[in-house]
Amino acid sequence: MTDMTAPGKIAAAPAPPRAHPLRDTLIKRLGFGVITLFCVSILVFAATQLLPGNAASAALQNTATPARLHALEVQMGLNRPAVSQYWSWLTGLFQGRLGTSIVSSTPVSTLVGGRIVNTAVLVLLAGFIGTVIGVALGMLAAARRDSVLDHVLSVTALAVTALPEFVVAMALVIFFAAVIWHLFPAVSVFPPGAAPWSDPTLLVLPVATLVIVIVPYTFRMMRAAMIDALESDYVEMATLKGLSRRRVLIFHALPNAIAPTIQVVGLNFLYLAGGVVVVEYVFNYPGLGQGLVNAVADRDIPVIQFVVLLLAAFYVLVNIATDMVSLAASPRRRLPRS
Amino acid sequence: MASTAALEVLTTAGRRRARRREWLAVLGRAVRTTRGAVGLSIVGVVVLIAAIGPALAPRPADAFVTRPFDNPSLAFPLGGDVLGRDVLSRTLAGGWELLLMAAVATLLGVAAGAALGVMAAYFGGFWDSLIMRVVDIVLAFPQLVFALLLVSILGPKIWLIVLAVAISHAPQVARVTRAAALDISERDYVRAAQIIGMPARKVMRREVLPNLTSVLMVELGLRLTYSILVIAGLSFLGFGLQPPAPSWGYMINENRIGLVANPWGVLAPTLLIAALTIGTNTLTDAIARASLGVGRGADDALLPGITAAGAVT
């Protein structure tokens, strides 16, 4: 519009400094991420440490007398001002001092360290397998839209999306571990210090549960994105050129569905951050989620604080990464809106 | 002066009736589709079991009446549970609390989220930023983890769980509502209401909110499914209704060690929870299709947690 009214004016104007929309967005998003996490840390700390029923009374439980409670509060530094308590907790986190478990009196770092690896293995495996299966099924359903296969897949996805993790887990245990076939162990206990991949059969059911829960999301998003792409002009053009269906699907339609795919991968990992809690508990899998459930049951406040903060940090980071990668993958959205 | 008063009467009295009809019309359209009918029937059956179940239970839910994990028999059609209580009676008695908690948490969460979203969109500027930043903070927690955090403070109290689930719903509802309300806040009839001097609260309630009926109904269904998932999940983890009171989630947990001896202690509550969530989700899908257009919205709206797309503008 503007160049039609005054073309000479635009040519004469000094060239604007080259904008880096991607870099600027990244900096902005990271900034907001840090602020969000800071607020989250305040919230977590205030909720667990400052409200009545603090760590000292949690540690003493039934043996709490006012005198003992006071002595322990002094020892744990709970009688100091809230801000000073918060500050030493936060600076401690950055220096690797995560505090000491109230229940087992071991440092939180040793308690949580191995669990982080175990959970990471579970999340990465499930995220990868689930995404591949979901994307493949979504493409298949979109390519054969309104076929019997498409309807069966769509209705199944609709039903499975709604299932709680423990329902899927119990169904798998009934079918593959306890009642019908005895193929895999019903619990995934392995000795402390052992790597989760040392016995792959222990991983099968937990990973399968998470995969079954994330595939329907992936499938539904992918199917919708592919149908959009397949209805576009360039796909019609490619088809009219006489290219094979497979070639059109993979080289013409799929690249244009890449942004939604990235979003799906991001959302899957976001979901998994919470989904591992129940699944690890069901299978007795020694990961962060099981650690969190045990800590909440025992009111082991230092462990709760760290694990919740860790999961929130993961959540925020995945969110930023998803936004940035999908922004980078869809050049049109990078430009400022005209 | 007289004409503006007449205008106001026209817009308010008429619209309140219209709003009620709108809710029913959307639901009616949804239920007339196959999906809607199937979803509503499934939900209806489970709700009926949960609601009249406690009255029908043949034995007290916490009485020890048979051997642990006893096989199903005529006297005990679903056999015994881990402590030798009647699985049938516990199943019949153990659902209504889950349903009630989920319903209350959903209503609270959607109401709070809708209010925040409409306010953010209507006022814009500072309030918009403030509300949406607070929303971002709560959105940084996975729902179940947020509930666990609150439960860790005061222990598994029923009201606390309901509150935790409601709080974790509100931000997501607020985002969706804000996006929808942004467009409506610019419409002429909203401007007209502002010009005749209607207070902001009234404009939002009478002019903006009624236009969000479809969006809010989809949110209501969606959040109800999530409420059931989270509350049943917490109950399964042992942070719901405390034993010996029967609840479907915890029944599955406590009876899983006897899965081989008497699978019904696990199967009965599992099937009911699965049917319930499948039913609410199918009904929601039908509502989304009926009110927002076929396929559109439903697929996107069913995504968990955050739609990352909303953050990029």
Mean pLDDT confidence for B163-172: 93
**E strand map for chain B:** none
Model confidence at A251: pLDDT above 80? yes
Per-residue model confidence (pLDDT) at position B173 = 93
Rg (CA), chain B: 23
Nearest to A173 among B133, B259, B309 (CB): B259
Q: Which residues from chain B sit within 8 angstroms of residue A220, using beta carbons?
A: 299, 302
- C-beta of residue B228 within 8 angstroms of C-beta of residue B280: yes
pLDDT tens, residue by residue, A305-320 = 899 999 999 988 998 8
Give the minimum alpha-carbon distance from A323 to chain B in angstroms, rounded to a whole number: 6
Using CA coordinates, name the residue in chain B closest to A40.
B137
Amino acid, single-letter form, for residue A209:
T
Per-residue model confidence (pLDDT) at position A1 = 39
Top residue of A158, A214, A218, A338 to mutate, by most chain B CBs within 10 Å, is A158
pLDDT tens, residue by residue, A72-121 = 777 776 777 778 888 888 888 888 788 888 778 788 888 888 889 899 99
Kindly list the structural domains of chain A, giving each domain's residue range(s) and its CATH number in brackets, ordered by start: 21-57+68-94 (no CATH), 108-334 (1.10.3720.10)
Nearest to B141 among A167, A312, A322 (CB): A312
Say yes or no for a CB contact (<8 Å) between B236 and A315: no
Say yes or no for a CB contact (<8 Å) between A164 and B232: yes
A107: preceding bond cis by omega (within 30 degrees): no
Helix/strand/coil (H/E/C) assignment for every residue in A276-321: HHHHHHHCCCCCHHHHHHHHHHHCCHHHHHHHHHHHHHHHHHHHHH
Q: Residue window 16-35, chain B: list those with CB within 8 Å of chain A.
A: 35
Mean pLDDT computed over every residue of chain B:
83
Model confidence at B307: pLDDT above 70? no
Say yes or no for a CB contact (<8 Å) between A292 and B238: no
Q: Which residues from chain A sit within 8 angstroms of residue B273, using beta carbons?
A: 164, 167
Q: Which residues from chain B sit within 8 angstroms of residue A281, using beta carbons?
A: 237
The complex scores an ipTM of 0.82
pLDDT tens, residue by residue, B1-29 = 445 555 555 555 566 666 667 778 888 88
Q: Which residues from chain B sit within 8 angstroms of residue A335, using beta carbons?
A: none
Using CA coordinates, name the residue in chain A closest to B260.
A179
Say yes or no for a CB contact (<8 Å) between A166 and B309: no
Say yes or no for a CB contact (<8 Å) between B140 and A223: no
Distances A133 to A22, A145, A173, A213, B221 between C-alpha atoms, Å? 31, 18, 22, 12, 28
B242–chain A Cβ distance below 8 A for any pair: no
Using CA coordinates, name the residue in chain A closest to B248.
A167
B280–chain A Cβ distance below 8 A for any pair: yes
pLDDT tens, residue by residue, A166-182 = 999 999 998 888 778 88
| pTM of the predicted model as reported, rounded to 2 decimal places | 0.85
Three-state secondary structure call for residue B123: helix
Q: How far is the C-alpha of A217 from the C-alpha of A269, rounded, in Å? A: 12
Using CA coordinates, name the residue in chain A closest to B283.
A158
Tally A–B CB contacts below 8 A.
171
Mean pLDDT computed over every residue of chain A:
82
| DSSP calls for A225-291 | HHHHHHTSHHHHHHHHTT--HHHIIIIIIGGGGHHHHHHHHHHHHHHHHHHHHHHHHHTT--SHHHH
B130–chain A Cβ distance below 8 A for any pair: no
Mean pLDDT confidence for B115-136: 90
Nearest to A220 among B150, B278, B299 (CB): B299
- Per the listing, tokens 């903070």 go with B137
B255–chain A Cβ distance below 8 A for any pair: no
Q: Which of B161, B180, B296, B181 is nearest to B229 (CA)?
A: B161
| Of residues B128 and A67, more confidently modeled | B128
First to last CA, chain A: 10
